[in-house]
């Protein structure tokens, strides 16, 4: 088993549910990362990036 693993908060999942899933797999959260999600749109011949959400990732370390 790997000592570290990334856990992504799924679309229909709360942060608490993701943390519980980590715990069930034997991992403890050590770091939280958030990344904005963008969508490319064309407006007036220009490409713009519109924020549409965020992706939350927890880095888990195996519990000993």
56 in Cβ contact with 8 (< 8 Å): yes
pLDDT in tens, 8-60: 999 999 999 999 999 999 999 999 999 999 999 998 999 999 999 999 999 99
pTM of the model: 0.78
SS3 label, residue 13:
coil
């Amino acid at each position: 088993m790997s000592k570290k693993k990334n856990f992504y908060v799924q679309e229909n999942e709360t942060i608490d549910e993701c943390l519980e899933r980590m715990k069930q797999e034997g991992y403890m959260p050590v770091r939280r990362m958030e990344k904005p999600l963008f969508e490319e749109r064309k407006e007036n011949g220009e490409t713009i990036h519109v924020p549409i959400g965020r992706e939350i990732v927890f880095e888990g370390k195996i519990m000993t």
